[in-house]
Amino acid sequence: MKKINHLFLGLCATATFLSSACVGQTSVHFGLTTGFNSTFVLDKGLAEDPRFTPEPTYRFSPIGASFGADFGRGFGLQLESILSKQGQVYHILDKAEKAIGERRIELNYINLPLLLRSFSTGSSRTRFNFLFGPQLSLLTQGTEVYEQYQAGTLVLPEGAQPPTNPNTGQPVQVNADRTYDYPKTTQTLASTDAKNQYEQFKKMDLQVALGLGVDIDLGRFMYLSTQIRGNYGFLDMRNEDLVNSVKNNSSKQAIKDLAGQRANLLVGAQIGLHWMFGGNRTSGNASSGVPER
């Protein structure tokens, strides 16, 4: 994880150096953003487990801030800080595929994407933009809760270990057809507040972020940004999965498992209001080379 920090800090230092070196020909902008997203927790085990089925999960990214520098025509760098709510809800299904509960994964991150920004040029007040780059995600709060509203008969997947009955503390009795009875219960499977480190989430995640949208000049110094945004995490988010993979697999297989066992995915829409120091491109500022109308 230290390598992730060093990599991201190195990229930030590079962006700062470029901004300083090009200050004479740079357009600097600052903005506030908000967004509405569809979020997913990609987990092959849960996806193939007959006891669970995902439902569409939507979250707000209530507020974010961006600071950027555009160098010349059509190229720039942008650093953002976004409060992001992510996760996934899975319905718990009994043998008859009736929903009898929920498995909820809820994660709050501060996302710090450093983005290469490319945009169309010209005198139009509307510009297309494309952003792409690495993102460091800092976890502020996370929980995974198994809540079964009523007792039911569930189907245990092939190769899975029988769960522990919360009332007796013993593994449940599995029938010949791989069904078992499970009582009404609410259990916290993982949490940032857990004392056992195996039940905690990773505090940081390395992701890739991208965006595609339109910038619209609203006046001499302000513009509106609208984008389709997405980010995908490369690392497993739970310490429990990390430990089990390292324990049960060879080193090469462990690396393979850690790259795709449980990951964050977000796809959504973002809107922002930005202040362009020195004026927008259509306002006749010197860096753009576009005469004022």
Interval 108-122: pLDDT, tens:
999 999 999 998 877
Residue-level length of the chain: 293
- List the beta bridge partners of residue 232: 208, 265
**CB-based contacts of 21, cutoff 8 Å, min separation 6:** none
| pTM to 2 decimal places | 0.81
Higher pLDDT, 39 or 242: 39
Rounded CA-CA distance 25/75 in Å is 12
Q: What sections of the chain are H helices per DSSP?
A: 2-21, 44-47, 239-248, 251-258
| pLDDT of amino acid 22 | 45
Report for 133-142, 200-209, 282-291: range of highest mean pLDDT: 133-142
| pLDDT of amino acid 287 | 40
Backbone torsions φ then ψ of 248, nearest 5 degrees: -95, -10
pLDDT in tens, 213-266: 999 999 889 999 999 999 999 878 876 555 565 556 555 655 555 555 788 999
- List the beta bridge partners of residue 75: 118
Q: How confident is the model at residue 150 (pLDDT cuts 50, 70, 90)?
A: very high
Mean pLDDT, rounded, for 158-180: 93
Domain parsing of the chain, residue ranges: 2-240
| pLDDT of amino acid 147 | 97
Longest Cα–Cα distance of the chain, Å, equals: 81
Q: In the block, which residue shows the tokens 């569409």?
A: 56
Q: Percentage of the chain with pLDDT > 90? A: 60
| pLDDT of amino acid 19 | 46
What would you report as the CA-atom Rg of the chain, rounded to the nearest whole angstrom?
A: 24
| pLDDT of amino acid 122 | 72
| pLDDT of amino acid 279 | 76
Q: Are 183 and 165 in contact (CB under 8 A)?
A: yes
**Helix or strand (DSSP H, E) at 143:** strand 126-148
Q: Are 225 and 31 in contact (CB under 8 A)?
A: yes
* HSE-up of residue 131 (Cα within 13 Å, Cβ side): 30
| pLDDT of amino acid 199 | 72
Q: Are 62 and 242 in contact (CB under 8 A)?
A: no
